[in-house]
Structure 1
Amino acid sequence: MQPGAVLILPCETRVREFDAKLLLGMLTAAAGGVAIVGSKKPIDLSLSRFPPGIYVGKSLTARSRHNLAIARACGHRVVLWDEEGLVWASPEVYWKTKVDPETLNAPELLIAWGEDNAQVWRDHPDYAGPPIEALGNPRADLLTPRLRSLFEAEVGSIRATHGRFILINTNFSRVNHLQPRQNRHLKWLREKRPDDPRGGFAAHKFELFQAFSDMVPELARRLPEVHFVVRPHPSEKRQTWEHVAAGFDNVSVAQHGNVVAWLLASDGLIHNGCTTAVEAFQLDRPAIAFRPVRSARYDHALPNDISLAAADLDELAGLVERASADSAALFSEQAGSESRQVMRAALAGFGEHGLASERIVARLGQLSEQGSIHGARSRWMPAVLAFRRLLRLLEQRLPGTANYRPYLAHMFPDIDQAEVEQSLRQMASCLDIAPVPRVRELETNVFRLEPA
């Protein structure tokens, strides 16, 4: 990597993305570059203040298109991956809900989780040919044996609080969102547009949400000796699940911390179409897909295909009892050669020693050698972003907006420089990297990493 080359790594959801991008930033600094890592909102509003670099966007939605245009106008090269590109329903539904044609064709490079993700982009009817490389994602690196020790203290704390348990992970943020105005699936249900696959997807998701809401208390009633921890999606309304679990001493609801620690602490996972099943597979934890309703068009195939399936409560209770009795034996049954083949197609580097972060740093290092975008830095961008910062101050007081202060604090709780430095020391120790990169806090929740 060119000395001083800058990578800009915005994170929307701290518990899902920050540790992984901190790892990517550390390897960038270890290679001689500079990384700016932190909360997406303040980073996007400060793009004109950073030296020209490579902006790594996190989604291919229409909303991302505007941020990419601003990044380019501030002189940055643009690279994209999709944090939700690992798990999706049919290509048609994924394209309709997660892929904007202009955004798909905007970057200089698209980084895919694996070949399946790369192919669904190539197959998009509006794909115009930007380079696609299946390099993986730093989130998968945290699950490798080399880095699992990062979560030892958190795993110990979870086990001290909850003992042995089965994790129930939910992913119903679009019907049970923390901010009611963001319940998009309910909006699609009301519209009932026959030409729009989002309506059918929403109906299927809502049916699953109701099934999970009924399943939790019934399972707790049938298996009183088993403790269950319900972990809602970070954007979900936690109180909904607390109401569902009310009255059961063997059910807890927890939404904090990285899911990796919760998976490592558990005896197994219950889900439907959730990315955590892929993560559980990488951590050698059994995953049970509760599938009381099925749809070839709307189910998320990857996590369900690599999991043990339960069509009803009887089957689910039987698998939970087996996970509680011998988690390793149940995972051995789940993780056959067919499942591992599916994982290799979905996740670049699955089962290999190298890290996705190492591959990404090497590839972006090549891109950085091309320098900045000549003549692309708009002199008007500082004023435009100053206006957007003022607008954000107003929206922070308005419930339901994407900038509402309590919502942003929920999605990205504050982290200070000392915590970042401690995480970097642990990561560096796991990977035998010395010296540890220097850290400087640029503003709240935004950090600059550079060579020591």
Structure 2
Amino acid sequence: MSKLYILVEESFRELRARAHITTAALARNLEVVIGQQWWFARNFASLSPGVVFLKGNNSVQANLMTSARAAGHRVLSIEEEAFGLKGEDVFLTLFDPRIETNCDRFLAQGINQRDTLISRFPEMWDRVSIVGNPRSEALISAASSGITGPAQEFLSRYGPYVLVNTNYASINPFDFDAFAYYRRCVGVGVLAPGDPDEMELFHTQCVWERDNLREIVRFLNMISEFRPDIPVILRPHPSENPRPWIDMARDLSSVYIVSDNDHLYWTLSCSVLVHSGSTTGLEACLLGREAINLRPGKSAWHDRFVSSIVNKNAETARQALEFVEQIYQRPTITSTPQDRIKALQPYLQTEMDSSPSELIVDSVLDIMPIGSARALEPGPFTNPYNSSRQRDKAFVSTETFRALLREATKTRSSQNFSITDLGPAVWHVTNITRTHMS
């Protein structure tokens, strides 16, 4: 059977959607190897020719493209960093120039991404396909399973709550070092220190995050003072350092800090979400939940995110609190208003005849290399040394992955799949039913 290799960098963000791609591939009689990208970087040459699916297009991903193609594989990519992005200027900073020659197919979320990419890389005009994004598909599937885990426990104990998601990794990074964050941006190729336009963009981003952070803090203090009866869940982004938030919330009796990477069920069960330019605002919209986008002051960054057109916008903490009081304990909406869906389509196409995962598999089959039907090589494979940060980002148990596959198969005909561990957080998945039929 032909092979699809799916590389994962951040499991909390990517793996649920990748499970949907896996089940769509199994339904088309493909074998799938899926897992941490660092394992694949060491083992491309040991794998039978196939199609390599990458989550991005920066210099790290471009290096993976080069290695994969040198080993006889074909490459397609999506841009996960742009899931909630609207601004073309920021979108293009995510692309290494080498993708023009090393990427066999780019998967665009909508017309805006397609046209922006082709304007920058004209030679790719016939290698861009609009597929939406399987993250939207995975959101709806997970929502149908109902609220579970810590979110359900909190809801049962404290009742309806407000969720506040933060996203200030440039000024409050996980390793306590803002200059280290700058160096990481340079290292992955999304920031060129010698380019004054890119440096200005980075500087204004930091100012924007600082102003947003200050207004979120004002909001937390105001809701604690004037509406202490409303429980608030504060969830710092996994790329942030949670310590300042923990210290800040210590004197706010109605604010509870959670560090759960899987934010989906917290969003699904909240009365209203408050954020400032976060992708979770888009996800709340897709889940049929109300969200308030707090956007203080004047900044071009406010309009670079899709949340600005699908959420209610508040200019101050006080206005955000007024919106919360209007929405809180109101019957939760269960479907996204059509005007928001229509506004979303140029940036994230959701109204298509096939699901994003099925369209992605169509593209996989279009570029499948000769020799891909060879049996998967038995190895030996080389396990990389994974840093603690890599393990935190990408590692989940086999049982967790199996549960995500079961969740994804609910949207398709019954599949009886087999999972074999190939390395740490790397799995070989086959459809037993199809194998026995062929």
Secondary structure of the residue aligned to 1:201 is: helix
1:425 matched to which residue of 2?
406
1:147 Cα shift? 4.6
TM-score (norm 1): 0.83
TM-score (norm 2): 0.86
Once the two structures are superposed, what CA deviation does each residue of 1:135-175 show, in whole Å capped at 9, x if it has no partner? 0121111122x552345433534534653211111111222
Cα contact 1:425–1:436 (8 A) shared by 2: no
CA distance in structure 1 between the aligned counterparts of 2:225 and 2:213, rounded to whole angstroms: 19
CA distance in structure 2 between the aligned counterparts of 1:187 and 1:5, rounded to whole angstroms: 36
Q: Out of 267, 275, 280, which is 1:263 matched to? A: 267
Change (3 A) 1:127 1:270: farther
The aligned amino acid for 1:21 is: R
Cα contact 1:169–1:232 (8 A) shared by 2: yes
1:31 Cα shift? 1.7
1:399 matched to which residue of 2?
none
1:317 Cα shift? 0.7
Cα contact 1:115–1:134 (8 A) shared by 2: yes
4+ aligned runs moved over 6 Å, structure 1: 185-189
1:140 matched to which residue of 2?
136
Cα contact 2:277–2:295 (8 A) shared by 1: no
Change (3 A) 1:126 1:157: farther
CA distance in structure 2 between the aligned counterparts of 1:218 and 1:57, rounded to whole angstroms: 43
CA distance in structure 2 between the aligned counterparts of 1:219 and 1:172, rounded to whole angstroms: 21
1:359 matched to which residue of 2?
359
> Where does 1:270-419 land on structure 2 (aligned, <5 Å)?
270-296=274-300, 299-328=303-332, 337-350=338-351, 354-368=354-368, 370-372=369-371, 393=385, 404-405=387-388, 407-416=389-398, 418-419=399-400
Once the two structures are superposed, what CA deviation does each residue of 1:216-256 show, in whole Å capped at 9, x if it has no partner? 23332222111111122221112222122112221112121
Alignment root-mean-square deviation, CA: 2.9
Pair 1:175 & 2:156 matched: no
1:22 matched to which residue of 2?
19
User: Any unmatched runs of 5+ in structure 1?
Assistant: 374-381, 394-402
Change (3 A) 1:77 1:307: same
What is the count of residue pairs matched by the alignment?
416
User: Any unmatched runs of 5+ in structure 2?
Assistant: 373-378, 433-438
Q: Out of 53, 56, 60, which is 2:53 matched to? A: 56
Secondary structure of the residue aligned to 2:125 is: coil
Identity of aligned residues (%): 19
Secondary structure of the residue aligned to 2:76 is: strand
2:236 matched to which residue of 1?
232
1:46 matched to which residue of 2?
43
1:80 Cα shift? 0.8
CA distance in structure 1 between the aligned counterparts of 2:267 and 2:171, rounded to whole angstroms: 24
CA distance in structure 1 between the aligned counterparts of 2:293 and 2:338, rounded to whole angstroms: 19
CA distance in structure 2 between the aligned counterparts of 1:186 and 1:208, rounded to whole angstroms: 22
Cα contact 2:293–2:311 (8 A) shared by 1: yes
Cα contact 1:438–1:450 (8 A) shared by 2: yes
